[in-house]
Amino acid sequence: MTKTILVTGASSFIAGWIIRYLLEKGYNVRGTVRSAAKEKQVLDGIAEEYRKQMSFVHVADITSDSFDEAVRDVDGIIHVASPFHFKVTDPEKALLLPAIHGPTRAL
């Protein structure tokens, strides 16, 4: 049976390389993205032969139950998602706390 790995933050640069590696090794990959546009962006970077091994779950933000669907029936999790943007007025609230809560909520 083929194993399924969840990759959070699937549209990020680093996640793209992780996803490519996993697909080439024969894994099914479930990626979290924030929108259908990000899903398309990820699919556009995947060779046609691997697209059937890829699925997505939309996670708009990191809330207490946001990863429930994403983690269902996966064999492993690679957590790459972390919010980042330059226009931050409260770094702890906008960057640090989501980076802490994201992995713990995924688990």
What CA–CA distances, in Å, run from 35 to 10, 15, 23, 76, 78?
11, 16, 22, 23, 19
Per-residue pLDDT of the chain (107 residues; tens, 9 = 90+): 799 999 999 999 999 999 999 999 999 999 999 999 999 999 999 999 999 999 999 987 766 577 788 889 999 999 987 777 788 888 888 778 877 776 666 66
Q: Are 105 and 62 in contact (CB under 8 A)?
A: yes
Q: What angle do CA 34, 36, 42 make, to 5 degrees?
A: 85
Q: What angle do CA 14, 19, 21 make, to 5 degrees?
A: 100
| CA-wise closest residue to 31 among 68, 65, 75, 77 | 77
What fold is seen in the domain 4-106?
Rossmann fold (3.40.50)
